[in-house]
Chain A
Amino acid sequence: MSSELSGLTLMALLLAVSLLAHEPWRWVGMFLGRNLDMNGELFGWVKSVSTALVAALVMRLMVFPAGALAGVSLYLRVAAMLVGLAVFLFAGRRISTGVGAAALCLVAGQLLTG
Protein backbone atom coordinates (compact mmCIF):
# COMPACT_ATOMS: atom_id res chain seq x y z
CA MET A 1 0.00 0.00 0.00
CA SER A 2 2.77 2.44 0.88
CA SER A 3 4.40 2.16 -2.51
CA GLU A 4 1.16 3.04 -4.32
CA LEU A 5 0.60 6.23 -2.39
CA SER A 6 2.31 9.48 -3.13
CA GLY A 7 4.03 11.30 -0.28
CA LEU A 8 1.25 13.78 0.46
CA THR A 9 -1.58 11.25 0.22
CA LEU A 10 0.27 8.99 2.62
CA MET A 11 0.84 11.90 4.97
CA ALA A 12 -2.88 12.72 4.94
CA LEU A 13 -3.70 9.07 5.63
CA LEU A 14 -1.26 8.92 8.55
CA LEU A 15 -2.74 12.11 9.96
CA ALA A 16 -6.27 10.75 9.68
CA VAL A 17 -5.47 7.41 11.32
CA SER A 18 -3.56 9.13 14.09
CA LEU A 19 -6.20 11.74 14.91
CA LEU A 20 -9.24 9.48 14.50
CA ALA A 21 -8.00 6.13 15.83
CA HIS A 22 -5.02 6.75 18.09
CA GLU A 23 -4.95 10.18 19.73
CA PRO A 24 -8.56 10.10 21.07
CA TRP A 25 -7.57 7.51 23.70
CA ARG A 26 -5.25 10.08 25.23
CA TRP A 27 -8.00 12.71 25.26
CA VAL A 28 -10.55 10.33 26.75
CA GLY A 29 -8.03 9.30 29.43
CA MET A 30 -7.37 12.89 30.42
CA PHE A 31 -11.08 13.65 30.41
CA LEU A 32 -11.81 10.68 32.68
CA GLY A 33 -8.94 11.63 34.98
CA ARG A 34 -9.98 15.27 35.34
CA ASN A 35 -11.72 14.82 38.69
CA LEU A 36 -9.80 11.84 39.96
CA ASP A 37 -8.74 12.14 43.59
CA MET A 38 -5.03 11.40 43.85
CA ASN A 39 -5.44 9.85 47.31
CA GLY A 40 -8.54 7.91 46.39
CA GLU A 41 -9.25 4.26 45.82
CA LEU A 42 -9.90 4.65 42.09
CA PHE A 43 -6.58 6.38 41.43
CA GLY A 44 -4.71 3.56 43.17
CA TRP A 45 -6.50 1.03 40.99
CA VAL A 46 -5.80 2.92 37.74
CA LYS A 47 -2.16 3.21 38.72
CA SER A 48 -1.97 -0.54 39.32
CA VAL A 49 -3.63 -1.21 35.96
CA SER A 50 -1.13 1.01 34.10
CA THR A 51 1.78 -0.58 35.94
CA ALA A 52 0.66 -4.13 35.16
CA LEU A 53 0.07 -3.13 31.53
CA VAL A 54 3.63 -1.85 31.10
CA ALA A 55 5.03 -4.93 32.87
CA ALA A 56 3.15 -7.10 30.34
CA LEU A 57 4.58 -4.98 27.53
CA VAL A 58 8.10 -5.58 28.92
CA MET A 59 7.56 -9.33 28.80
CA ARG A 60 6.13 -9.17 25.29
CA LEU A 61 9.08 -7.16 23.98
CA MET A 62 11.44 -9.55 25.74
CA VAL A 63 9.86 -12.89 24.82
CA PHE A 64 8.49 -12.01 21.34
CA PRO A 65 10.95 -9.38 20.08
CA ALA A 66 10.98 -7.78 16.66
CA GLY A 67 13.85 -7.45 14.19
CA ALA A 68 17.43 -8.29 15.07
CA LEU A 69 16.65 -9.03 18.72
CA ALA A 70 14.65 -12.08 17.58
CA GLY A 71 17.95 -13.54 16.35
CA VAL A 72 19.32 -13.56 19.92
CA SER A 73 18.45 -16.68 21.92
CA LEU A 74 15.73 -16.40 24.56
CA TYR A 75 18.20 -17.60 27.23
CA LEU A 76 20.61 -14.78 26.47
CA ARG A 77 17.81 -12.20 26.46
CA VAL A 78 16.53 -13.39 29.83
CA ALA A 79 20.06 -13.66 31.26
CA ALA A 80 20.88 -10.09 30.18
CA MET A 81 17.62 -8.84 31.71
CA LEU A 82 18.37 -10.59 35.01
CA VAL A 83 21.92 -9.17 35.07
CA GLY A 84 20.55 -5.67 34.45
CA LEU A 85 17.95 -6.17 37.18
CA ALA A 86 20.55 -7.46 39.68
CA VAL A 87 22.98 -4.61 38.97
CA PHE A 88 20.13 -2.12 39.34
CA LEU A 89 18.94 -3.57 42.65
CA PHE A 90 22.33 -4.12 44.27
CA ALA A 91 24.39 -1.23 42.91
CA GLY A 92 22.53 1.85 44.07
CA ARG A 93 19.22 1.51 42.16
CA ARG A 94 20.43 3.62 39.25
CA ILE A 95 18.51 3.04 36.01
CA SER A 96 21.44 4.01 33.77
CA THR A 97 23.76 1.48 35.48
CA GLY A 98 21.22 -1.32 35.17
CA VAL A 99 20.43 -0.61 31.51
CA GLY A 100 24.16 -0.34 30.72
CA ALA A 101 24.94 -3.65 32.43
CA ALA A 102 22.12 -5.43 30.57
CA ALA A 103 23.29 -4.00 27.23
CA LEU A 104 26.91 -5.02 27.87
CA CYS A 105 25.77 -8.50 28.84
CA LEU A 106 23.80 -8.83 25.61
CA VAL A 107 26.78 -7.68 23.49
CA ALA A 108 29.21 -9.99 25.31
CA GLY A 109 26.82 -12.93 25.06
CA GLN A 110 26.30 -12.42 21.33
CA LEU A 111 30.04 -12.13 20.66
CA LEU A 112 30.79 -15.24 22.74
CA THR A 113 28.04 -17.42 21.28
CA GLY A 114 27.70 -16.01 17.79
Chain B
Amino acid sequence: MVLDDDQLPPQPEPEDGFWRQATSAGALWRGLKVSLTTPGIILFASAAGFGALARDAGFSLWNSLFMMGIFFALPGQVVMIDQMARGASIMASALAVSLTGLRLLPMSVALMPYLRGPKVTRFQYVIAAHFIAVTAWMEGWRRLPEVPVALRMVHFIGIGSGFVAMTLLGTVFGYAVAGSVSKVLEAVLLFLTPIYFLLSLIATSARLPDTLAIAFGAILGVPLYLWAPGFDLLLAGVLGGTLAHFAAKVRAPS
Protein backbone atom coordinates (compact mmCIF):
# COMPACT_ATOMS: atom_id res chain seq x y z
CA MET B 1 0.00 0.00 0.00
CA VAL B 2 2.93 2.35 -0.56
CA LEU B 3 1.67 5.42 -2.41
CA ASP B 4 3.83 5.97 -5.40
CA ASP B 5 4.85 9.59 -5.08
CA ASP B 6 8.29 9.49 -3.57
CA GLN B 7 9.96 10.28 -6.88
CA LEU B 8 8.95 13.93 -6.54
CA PRO B 9 11.95 16.11 -7.31
CA PRO B 10 12.92 18.75 -4.76
CA GLN B 11 12.07 21.51 -7.25
CA PRO B 12 8.51 22.81 -7.65
CA GLU B 13 6.42 20.76 -10.03
CA PRO B 14 4.54 23.12 -12.34
CA GLU B 15 2.55 20.18 -13.72
CA ASP B 16 0.93 19.43 -10.38
CA GLY B 17 -2.35 21.34 -10.43
CA PHE B 18 -3.33 20.30 -6.92
CA TRP B 19 -1.70 23.22 -5.14
CA ARG B 20 -3.19 25.88 -7.40
CA GLN B 21 -6.64 25.43 -5.89
CA ALA B 22 -5.80 23.71 -2.62
CA THR B 23 -7.59 24.60 0.62
CA SER B 24 -6.20 24.36 4.16
CA ALA B 25 -8.06 21.11 4.74
CA GLY B 26 -6.75 19.73 1.47
CA ALA B 27 -3.17 20.67 2.40
CA LEU B 28 -3.54 19.05 5.82
CA TRP B 29 -5.02 15.88 4.33
CA ARG B 30 -2.34 15.63 1.68
CA GLY B 31 0.26 15.99 4.44
CA LEU B 32 -1.34 13.22 6.49
CA LYS B 33 -1.25 10.93 3.46
CA VAL B 34 2.54 11.28 3.24
CA SER B 35 2.65 8.85 6.18
CA LEU B 36 1.48 6.12 3.78
CA THR B 37 4.53 6.58 1.53
CA THR B 38 8.02 5.11 2.01
CA PRO B 39 9.13 7.37 4.91
CA GLY B 40 5.98 6.53 6.88
CA ILE B 41 6.55 2.79 6.43
CA ILE B 42 10.18 3.20 7.49
CA LEU B 43 9.19 5.23 10.55
CA PHE B 44 6.74 2.46 11.46
CA ALA B 45 9.55 -0.09 11.19
CA SER B 46 12.05 1.90 13.23
CA ALA B 47 9.42 2.66 15.89
CA ALA B 48 8.77 -1.09 16.03
CA GLY B 49 12.45 -1.52 16.83
CA PHE B 50 12.07 1.05 19.61
CA GLY B 51 8.93 -0.69 20.98
CA ALA B 52 10.82 -3.97 21.24
CA LEU B 53 13.77 -2.26 22.91
CA ALA B 54 11.54 -0.45 25.44
CA ARG B 55 9.82 -3.69 26.37
CA ASP B 56 13.17 -5.43 26.87
CA ALA B 57 14.17 -2.56 29.16
CA GLY B 58 11.09 -3.09 31.30
CA PHE B 59 8.96 -0.15 30.21
CA SER B 60 5.18 -0.44 30.21
CA LEU B 61 3.41 -0.06 26.87
CA TRP B 62 1.93 3.27 27.98
CA ASN B 63 5.27 4.69 28.98
CA SER B 64 6.83 3.45 25.72
CA LEU B 65 4.09 5.21 23.76
CA PHE B 66 4.39 8.33 25.90
CA MET B 67 8.13 8.42 25.32
CA MET B 68 7.72 7.98 21.57
CA GLY B 69 5.22 10.83 21.40
CA ILE B 70 6.90 13.29 23.76
CA PHE B 71 10.42 12.94 22.31
CA PHE B 72 9.62 12.01 18.71
CA ALA B 73 13.34 11.51 18.00
CA LEU B 74 14.59 7.95 18.21
CA PRO B 75 18.24 8.61 19.12
CA GLY B 76 17.18 10.56 22.23
CA GLN B 77 14.78 7.81 23.25
CA VAL B 78 17.35 5.06 22.82
CA VAL B 79 19.92 7.01 24.85
CA MET B 80 17.33 7.66 27.58
CA ILE B 81 16.53 3.94 27.86
CA ASP B 82 20.21 3.06 27.83
CA GLN B 83 21.01 5.57 30.60
CA MET B 84 18.17 4.31 32.77
CA ALA B 85 19.15 0.69 32.24
CA ARG B 86 22.66 1.56 33.44
CA GLY B 87 21.29 3.31 36.48
CA ALA B 88 22.67 6.70 35.50
CA SER B 89 21.52 9.73 37.50
CA ILE B 90 18.72 11.90 36.16
CA MET B 91 21.12 14.76 35.49
CA ALA B 92 23.51 12.52 33.52
CA SER B 93 20.61 11.06 31.54
CA ALA B 94 19.23 14.50 30.76
CA LEU B 95 22.65 15.69 29.61
CA ALA B 96 23.15 12.68 27.31
CA VAL B 97 19.65 13.10 25.86
CA SER B 98 20.26 16.79 25.40
CA LEU B 99 23.37 16.10 23.33
CA THR B 100 21.36 13.93 20.94
CA GLY B 101 18.78 16.70 20.65
CA LEU B 102 21.37 19.30 19.69
CA ARG B 103 21.37 17.99 16.11
CA LEU B 104 17.75 19.14 15.80
CA LEU B 105 18.86 22.77 16.13
CA PRO B 106 20.41 23.26 12.67
CA MET B 107 17.54 21.26 11.13
CA SER B 108 14.99 23.58 12.73
CA VAL B 109 16.91 26.65 11.55
CA ALA B 110 17.00 25.31 8.00
CA LEU B 111 13.31 24.39 7.89
CA MET B 112 12.01 27.59 9.48
CA PRO B 113 12.14 29.74 6.30
CA TYR B 114 9.66 27.30 4.73
CA LEU B 115 7.31 27.34 7.70
CA ARG B 116 6.99 30.96 8.68
CA GLY B 117 4.19 33.05 7.36
CA PRO B 118 2.13 36.11 8.30
CA LYS B 119 -0.84 34.08 9.53
CA VAL B 120 1.06 31.35 11.36
CA THR B 121 0.26 31.28 15.08
CA ARG B 122 2.71 30.72 17.91
CA PHE B 123 0.91 27.50 18.76
CA GLN B 124 1.44 26.21 15.21
CA TYR B 125 5.17 26.95 15.48
CA VAL B 126 5.42 24.98 18.72
CA ILE B 127 3.53 22.04 17.20
CA ALA B 128 5.60 22.10 14.00
CA ALA B 129 8.83 22.29 16.03
CA HIS B 130 7.92 19.05 17.75
CA PHE B 131 7.79 17.18 14.43
CA ILE B 132 11.32 18.15 13.50
CA ALA B 133 13.38 14.99 13.42
CA VAL B 134 15.34 13.67 10.47
CA THR B 135 12.40 12.14 8.59
CA ALA B 136 9.86 14.97 8.85
CA TRP B 137 12.63 17.48 8.25
CA MET B 138 13.63 15.76 5.03
CA GLU B 139 10.09 15.31 3.78
CA GLY B 140 9.33 18.92 4.64
CA TRP B 141 12.34 20.03 2.73
CA ARG B 142 11.45 17.89 -0.24
CA ARG B 143 7.80 18.83 -0.44
CA LEU B 144 7.32 22.34 1.00
CA PRO B 145 8.97 24.32 -1.84
CA GLU B 146 6.14 23.29 -4.18
CA VAL B 147 3.43 24.23 -1.66
CA PRO B 148 1.97 27.77 -1.73
CA VAL B 149 3.46 29.80 1.14
CA ALA B 150 0.13 30.22 2.95
CA LEU B 151 -0.44 26.43 3.10
CA ARG B 152 3.06 25.27 4.03
CA MET B 153 2.58 25.27 7.81
CA VAL B 154 -0.71 23.34 7.61
CA HIS B 155 0.77 20.86 5.16
CA PHE B 156 3.79 20.30 7.39
CA ILE B 157 1.59 19.79 10.45
CA GLY B 158 -0.25 17.16 8.40
CA ILE B 159 3.00 15.42 7.50
CA GLY B 160 4.20 15.51 11.12
CA SER B 161 0.91 14.29 12.65
CA GLY B 162 0.77 11.40 10.19
CA PHE B 163 4.35 10.48 11.06
CA VAL B 164 3.65 10.60 14.81
CA ALA B 165 0.65 8.31 14.26
CA MET B 166 2.82 5.86 12.31
CA THR B 167 5.48 5.80 15.03
CA LEU B 168 2.86 5.17 17.73
CA LEU B 169 1.40 2.28 15.73
CA GLY B 170 4.93 0.98 15.11
CA THR B 171 5.73 1.16 18.84
CA VAL B 172 2.65 -0.91 19.70
CA PHE B 173 3.53 -3.42 16.99
CA GLY B 174 7.16 -3.75 18.12
CA TYR B 175 6.13 -3.98 21.76
CA ALA B 176 3.68 -6.78 20.90
CA VAL B 177 6.03 -8.89 18.79
CA ALA B 178 9.25 -8.28 20.81
CA GLY B 179 11.35 -11.42 20.98
CA SER B 180 9.18 -13.38 18.57
CA VAL B 181 10.57 -11.99 15.30
CA SER B 182 13.47 -13.67 13.51
CA LYS B 183 16.92 -12.04 13.78
CA VAL B 184 17.05 -11.69 10.00
CA LEU B 185 13.89 -9.57 9.92
CA GLU B 186 14.95 -7.57 12.97
CA ALA B 187 18.25 -6.68 11.28
CA VAL B 188 16.39 -5.53 8.16
CA LEU B 189 14.08 -3.29 10.22
CA LEU B 190 17.12 -1.56 11.71
CA PHE B 191 18.73 -1.28 8.30
CA LEU B 192 15.82 0.59 6.67
CA THR B 193 16.44 3.86 8.53
CA PRO B 194 20.04 4.59 7.45
CA ILE B 195 19.44 3.57 3.83
CA TYR B 196 16.30 5.73 3.66
CA PHE B 197 18.18 8.70 5.18
CA LEU B 198 20.99 8.29 2.66
CA LEU B 199 18.75 8.03 -0.41
CA SER B 200 16.58 10.96 0.74
CA LEU B 201 19.64 13.12 1.19
CA ILE B 202 20.78 12.31 -2.33
CA ALA B 203 17.28 12.82 -3.72
CA THR B 204 17.06 16.29 -2.17
CA SER B 205 20.56 17.43 -3.02
CA ALA B 206 20.12 19.65 -6.03
CA ARG B 207 23.24 21.77 -5.69
CA LEU B 208 26.97 21.07 -5.54
CA PRO B 209 27.34 22.08 -1.83
CA ASP B 210 24.65 19.52 -0.88
CA THR B 211 26.48 16.72 -2.67
CA LEU B 212 29.79 17.73 -1.11
CA ALA B 213 28.15 17.97 2.32
CA ILE B 214 26.91 14.37 2.02
CA ALA B 215 30.40 13.20 1.07
CA PHE B 216 32.23 15.16 3.81
CA GLY B 217 29.68 14.24 6.49
CA ALA B 218 29.93 10.57 5.58
CA ILE B 219 33.73 10.60 5.61
CA LEU B 220 33.96 12.47 8.93
CA GLY B 221 31.17 10.53 10.67
CA VAL B 222 33.02 7.40 11.72
CA PRO B 223 36.36 8.91 12.88
CA LEU B 224 34.56 11.64 14.83
CA TYR B 225 32.32 9.08 16.52
CA LEU B 226 35.43 7.22 17.68
CA TRP B 227 37.14 10.42 18.75
CA ALA B 228 34.28 12.35 20.39
CA PRO B 229 31.17 10.23 20.89
CA GLY B 230 28.22 12.40 21.84
CA PHE B 231 29.53 15.42 19.96
CA ASP B 232 30.30 13.50 16.77
CA LEU B 233 27.18 14.41 14.78
CA LEU B 234 27.37 18.10 15.54
CA LEU B 235 31.11 18.21 14.81
CA ALA B 236 30.69 16.27 11.57
CA GLY B 237 27.85 18.60 10.59
CA VAL B 238 29.69 21.84 11.32
CA LEU B 239 33.07 20.70 9.94
CA GLY B 240 31.72 18.80 6.93
CA GLY B 241 29.05 21.39 6.13
CA THR B 242 31.42 24.34 6.39
CA LEU B 243 34.01 22.56 4.27
CA ALA B 244 31.37 21.71 1.64
CA HIS B 245 30.01 25.25 1.67
CA PHE B 246 33.36 26.84 0.95
CA ALA B 247 34.69 24.10 -1.34
CA ALA B 248 31.65 24.58 -3.58
CA LYS B 249 32.39 28.32 -3.69
CA VAL B 250 35.97 27.76 -4.78
CA ARG B 251 34.79 25.34 -7.42
CA ALA B 252 32.06 27.58 -8.82
CA PRO B 253 32.71 31.26 -8.06
CA SER B 254 29.53 33.26 -8.52
Q: Give the complex CA separation of A33 and B196 in angstroms.
A: 26
- How many A-B pairs fall under 8 Å by CB? 315
Q: Knowing A17-B90, A96-B2 are in contact, say whether A71-B191 is a contact too (CB < 8 A).
A: no
A residues near B192, Cβ cutoff 8 Å: 99, 103
A residues near B216, Cβ cutoff 8 Å: 52, 55
B residues near A25, Cβ cutoff 8 Å: 98, 101-105, 108
In-complex Cβ contact of B210 among A7, A46, A47, A66 (8 A): A47
Q: What 0/1 readout, one digit per residue, does chain B (53-77) give for beta carbons within 8 Å of chain A?
A: 1000111101100110011010110
CB distance from B23 to the nearest CB of A (A): 25
Chain B, interface residues (CB within 8 Å), range: 35 or more
B80 touches A10 (CB 8 A): no
Interface residues of A (CB under 8 A from B): 1-3, 7, 10-11, 13-15, 17-30, 32-34, 36-38, 43-69, 71-72, 77, 80-81, 84-85, 88-89, 92-96, 98-99, 102-103, 106-107, 110-111, 114
Interface residues of B (CB under 8 A from A): 2, 4, 6-7, 37-38, 42, 49, 53, 57-60, 62-63, 66-67, 70-71, 73, 75-76, 78, 80-81, 84-85, 87-88, 90, 93-95, 97-98, 100-116, 125-126, 128-130, 132, 134, 137-138, 183-184, 186-188, 190-203, 205, 209-210, 212-218, 220-222, 224-225, 232-234, 236-242, 244-245
